[in-house]
Amino acid sequence: MLGGCGVTGGSGSGRSEAGVLDLRDWSFQRQGAVGLNGEWGFTWNALVPPAELQGQWPEGFDTASVPDQWRVDAGGGDRFKRHGYATYFLRVLLPPDAPALSLKVRDVGTAYRVFVDGQLLHQAGRVGRDAASTTPGFQRQLVPLPAPDSGEYRIVFHVANFHYRSGGLWEYLVLGASDDVRRHYEQALGLSIALASAIGAIGLYHLGLYSLRRKDSSPLFFGLVCLITSARLLSTDERYITELWPGISHDALFRLEYLSFLLALPTFGAYFSRLLPGYYPTWAMRMIYVLGLGFSSGVAITPMSVYSPWLPVFQIYLLLTCGVGLYAMARAALERREEAAAFLVGFAILIFTAVADLLSSRDVINTPHFLIGFGLFSFIIIQSYALSRRSAQAFAAVESLTSELEAYSTNLEEKVQQRTAELGDANAKLEQMAMIDGLTQINNRRQFDTALAREWPAHARRKASLSLLILDIDNFKAFNDSYGHLKGDEVLVRVAGALSSALSRPNDLVARYGGEEFVVLLPDTDAEGAWNVAERLLASVAVLNIPHQASDIGHLSLSIGVATLVPEHAGDAASLLEQADQHLYAAKAAGRNRISGNPEP
């Protein structure tokens, strides 16, 4: 629940003053990336066009601290209202040997646009001047920056918030060498994934323990705690869940973040009350359950603008829950209960790392990135050890009763494993058969549809070219009429083999689309590359020199339609198929045995 404090993304931090950050003496190669924190130029209730900020800063401009949130000032004025829109601007003076740079953008509240030297480089959500025209959005991004014109960057943020409890640039922005920034991002993301996976696996393990021995429900609630914690790790900090679920909305992301916090507290309480029964006051546990479920229901059914202002109340609820837990654990520790001692040790490590991570994020001390993650993992491991010890003691007490069943259980387990393996092999074969064309033994239309549905959003995110070829055997009905259907099937097999052999990249996919039609999906391929592949495929069938008396050229040939698009999230993959199909008909209309595409090389 304390995760997400560490926000530094590089090895150093700058401090801007009056909207200017002087990095002329900074070495990105030696000192690493830098946090763009400090005073930024700021205008409230104005979306200043970037072009107006390329010369001198406007006279009398205000300043705002970054990172920070919008707050209502003590006088009740409108300088820092929680809802509104604003322009942030910063002039960054660069060293003469600055390498290619990138900007890492973290959470911004709650819709924003990023301009650098007047160019719009990135945006999340829709920035407006009221709630109706503003759409919250989240997209953690590494933004490659263009080469500076005059040894400096002018960075402008348009920020709007009408839905969350507060807005603004509330987390560090990191500027650094592109490779360095990406490496730090990938390290942080990898660590987040590793922690979430490990804790999730521990949770599943304890749920499995509970399923085997339901008399003790503490493994059940501990397993739920681990799964909720894993979900929170995925939905906070680097927010890896946005990679697993690219279409997740801003609203759903924040609901998951809040619910993983609120549901964890009564689940923690249920776990500890069963780990040490009799030490928790009954009234306190009822209060924890009622408040946790009540708050969670409110978050689930109300809009973000309603539940997010309650965050201070939720935090007080967290402190009360922790206070009750510490009271109960202290009582148990005084009576020398081993489980209480394990909890207190784990809790002390967690609190120490949380405080250290918080101080590091405020530049008070320097600690390894995401120290809180190790503290949380240590806490989970210690609790897992305590439960394992308790389970071991319980099993030892009944060991004499289970020894007679050991041989039978071992044999049964082997049979179950063998049967599971057989079923797994059968399922794997069935799944493979469902994706393979029975005649040609290449991919079928179902496999092609699956691949196209996967590659379209992936290329949309990367803004990469995706190419598609539709191939049709010319005059194939006449071939069947002349040589027979068995010969036609043989030809389909030979053509499929030739097409497969002509593709050189492992990611390229050839499939039988239906009848005598084939499709070839070419990821990360522009129009010229797709045309080259089409020529190679045309030649691969011509080399077979299959006689075809109904063909004008005397042998079997293909007509190929080529289409290339840079997919868009709002687009439809069917448009790529339609273009390729239109070009196929154009190739046939032009005389067959040819390629048609737009543009043609």
Chain centre distance of CA 315: 27
Q: Are 276 and 162 in contact (CB under 8 A)?
A: no
Long-range contacts of 284-292 (CB under 8 A, 24+ apart): 284/324, 285/324, 287/320, 288/320, 288/321, 288/324, 291/266, 291/317, 292/262, 292/263, 292/265, 292/266, 292/317
Q: Would residue 406 show up in a list of annotated catalytic residues for this protein?
A: no
Annotated catalytic residue, options 17, 257, 516, 535: 516
Contact 572, 597 (CB under 8 A): no
Neighbours of 8 (CB within 10 A): 23
Q: How far apart are CA 354 and CA 356, in angstroms?
A: 5
Minimal CA–CA distance to 378: which of 424, 409, 403, 347?
347
How many other C-beta atoms can be found within 10 angstroms of the C-beta atom of residue 383? 25
* Cis? peptide before 312, omega within 30° of 0: no
Distance (Å) of CA 44 to CA 68, 125, 167, 173, 309: 14, 19, 12, 20, 21
Amino acid 266 reads P
The SS3 of residue 154 is strand
At residue 153, φ and ψ (nearest 5 deg) are -115, 145
Helix axes 250-275, 218-235, angle to 10 degrees: 150
Backbone angles phi, psi at 464, to 5 degrees: -110, 155
β-bridge pairing 558-565 and 595-597? parallel
Q: Which residues are catalytic?
A: 516
